[in-house]
Amino acid sequence: MQNPGNKESLIRFIEQKAREIRIDIVKMTAKAGSGHPGGSLSAADIVATLYFGEVLRVKPDEPDWPDRDRFVLSKGHAAPVLYSALAGRGFFPADWLDTLRQLGSPLQGHPDCKKVPGVEVSTGSLGQGLSMAVGMALAGRLDQKDYNVWVLLGDGECQEGQIWEAAMAASHYKLDNLIAIVDHNGLQIDGRVRDVMSIDPIDDKFRAFGWHVFRVDGHRVDILLDVFQQALDIKGKPAVVVADTVKGKGVSFMEGEKDWHGKAPNPGQLEEALKQLQAV
């Protein structure tokens, strides 16, 4: 990946990559006729900052490099956002994106670590990713490796009890090589998170479980860059970034609409979405 230079240039570079990721998301899901655009679009700035902001230490030409940082997409239904980032970083050819959810394609509806370079674990059953990330962080400590483990959670996913068992374990073992990010877009398939099963106050819950908590605007790349570095500097406890986002971000008719959790755009909607995303 070409180094874009100073911080201002890096921010613009990441913002452009986030835009490209959003374009990929709507194209992929439209061609597949299925998928989850809403929660993929809300996470685009987060994932772009991790993969294109010199945050994750990875080698696309050596996906199994032992010293790489690990990224776990716990909200596995948002696979399109991860696939776009991985293709953009060169883990696999960009034309794979055209095959999302097609029979025989490595790019399944949820990421498969046995088929897609750069995917650390297969995810999809919600609530499990944080536990796997805790295991990876513990393994890094036991192996005396200095890699970091990042895990992206959905806010609806935080209704799962396993999330809080893992949170308790991470704090107990003082896993300061573990950083969680909550894509806090406020919506899940059945409606508003606060109506289905409120997780508020999410900040205080993580603090009570012994985590260092950051609360930020999840669409501000400049803020995300800074807070991710601050999270890496926390010692003696795990860190969590609660990122306030908008479901469907970037496409006006998808923003804040639960129906776009798991519905693909039709040809007319794709045309309008691309017009909006490409006009910036």
Q: What residue ranges do the domains of the chain occupy?
A: 7-278
Q: Which of 160, 179, 152 is nearest to 77 (CA)?
A: 152
Structure tokens at 105: 């394609």
What is the biggest distance separating any 2 CA atoms in the chain, rounded to whole angstroms? 53
- Residues lower than pLDDT 70 in the chain: 1-5, 280
Helix axes 7-32, 221-233, angle to 10 degrees: 110
Specify the pTM. Answer: 0.97
Per residue in 91-127, pLDDT (tens digit) is 999 999 999 999 999 999 999 999 999 999 999 999 9
Predicted local confidence at residue 31, as pLDDT:
98
Q: What's the pLDDT tens digit per position in 48-73? A: 999 999 999 999 999 999 999 999 99
CA separation, residue 179 to residues 199, 237, 240 (Å): 19, 10, 6
Q: What is the dihedral of CA 143, 52, 255, 107, to 10 degrees?
A: -70
Token pair in block for residue 115 = 């088929």
pLDDT of residue 279: 87
CA distance 163 to 153: 9
Candidates 3.40.50.2000, 3.40.50.300, 3.30.70.2860, 3.40.50.970; CATH matching 7-278: 3.40.50.970
- Phi and psi at residue 171, in whole multiples of 5°? -70, -40
- How many Å apart are CA 163 and CA 157, to the nearest integer? 8
Dihedral over Cα of 148, 28, 189, 242: its sign: positive
For residue 171, the SS3 value is helix
Q: How far apart are CA 74 and CA 146, in angstroms?
A: 22
Q: Which of these, 118, 56, 131, lies nearest to 86 by C-alpha position?
A: 118
Q: How far apart are CA 192 and CA 233, in angstroms?
A: 34
Per the listing, tokens 């490099």 go with: 65
- CA angle (257, 259, 263) in 5-degree steps: 125
Q: How far apart are CA 214 and CA 16, in angstroms?
A: 25
